[in-house]
Amino acid sequence: MARVAIVTGGTRGIGEAISLALTDLGITVAANYGGSDENARAFTERTGIKSYKWNVADHQACLDGVAQVEAELGPVDIVVNNAGITRDGTLMKMSYEAWDEVIRVNLGGCFNMAKATFTGMKSRGFGRIVNIGSINGQAGQYGQVNYAAAKSGIHGFTKALAQEGARFGITVNAIAPGYIDTDMVAAVPPEVLEKIVAKIPAGRLGQASEIARGVAFLVGENSGFVTGSTLSINGGQHMY
């Protein structure tokens, strides 16, 4: 029977590319999303991949969402924690709400989804968790104390949970994308983006499919000895 994967934020951007790449591998994908119903509907129509709405920052919603996916598609063996948001601003201008929301969605979402699926993975002796971090969690970024802290936290979370999962056939890895051509990066002012691209040795933004390729490797049946690692996919911008 095909394995079942949940990709959070799996209906657009990097997440959409991941949902498609895993489907191509024969995995049954449930694509979670947070609010854009119209986009999710169009995604499901276009791809045939089912979409499920819940807020990854809400612990109970994650438990309920996973239960619904498992009832409809079967036990979840693969989780890709991709949902993420930015609420940028310097510390002086950043509200507590902007701090809190980014930590709760980007980092709290990883905890909530792992809590909802880890016991099942453990009982079946197989699991793959891939957390999408960021180059800005590795290197820091001006105006992003919330996002950099959350993403940096993801890298620590990954290494700690990898140690807990290893004996049970559960791998936990992270990918740290550089700047990828999605809606999130489209929100960066053009003059700032130009300066960022100038610093990327590859001389261009990355494509979502290039991140998905890394995820496809990490969730593979034969990737069981890869755990606790962070794969940087950033065109050479930051070598960690």
Residues known to be catalytic: 147
Which range touches ligand NDP (CB under 6 A), out of 19-27, 49-57, 65-73, 225-233?
49-57
**Alpha carbon distances (Å) from 154 to 12, 102, 191, 206:** 21, 12, 29, 21
Q: Is 83 in the site for ligand NDP (CB under 6 A)?
A: yes
Long-range CB contacts for residues 43-52, cutoff 8 Å, separation at least 24? 43/11, 43/12, 43/16, 43/19, 44/11, 47/19, 47/20, 47/23, 49/10, 49/19, 49/20, 49/23, 51/10, 51/11, 52/6
Q: Is 55 in the site for ligand NDP (CB under 6 A)?
A: yes
Footprint (CB under 6 A) of ligand NDP, residues 104-123: 105
What's the rounded Cα separation, in Å, for the pair 52 and 36? 11
- The identity of residue 140, as a single letter, is G
| Residue of 5, 6, 7, 14 that binds ligand NDP (CB under 6 A) | 14
| Residue of 23, 51, 82, 158 that binds ligand NDP (CB under 6 A) | 82
> In a 3-state reduction of DSSP, which class is residue 58?
coil
Pick from 37, 2, 45, 54: nearest CA to 23: 2
> In a 3-state reduction of DSSP, which class is residue 182?
coil
Q: Is 179 in the site for ligand NDP (CB under 6 A)?
A: yes
What's the rounded Cα separation, in Å, for the pair 240 and 99? 26
| Residue of 8, 146, 171, 232 that binds ligand NDP (CB under 6 A) | 8
Taking the complex as a whole, how short is the minimal distance between the CB of residue 25 and ligand NDP, in angstroms?
A: 20
Q: Is 129 in the site for ligand NDP (CB under 6 A)?
A: no
Footprint (CB under 6 A) of ligand NDP, residues 149-178: 177
Continuous segment of H or E residues that includes residue 65: helix 59-73
Q: Is 182 in the site for ligand NDP (CB under 6 A)?
A: yes
Taking the complex as a whole, how short is the minimal distance between the CB of residue 153 and ligand NDP, in angstroms?
A: 12
Which range touches ligand NDP (CB under 6 A), out of 22-30, 54-62, 90-98, 195-203?
54-62
User: Can you give the binding site for ligand NDP, defined by CB under 6 A?
Assistant: 8-9, 11-15, 32-36, 39, 55-57, 82-85, 105, 132, 134, 177, 179-180, 182-185
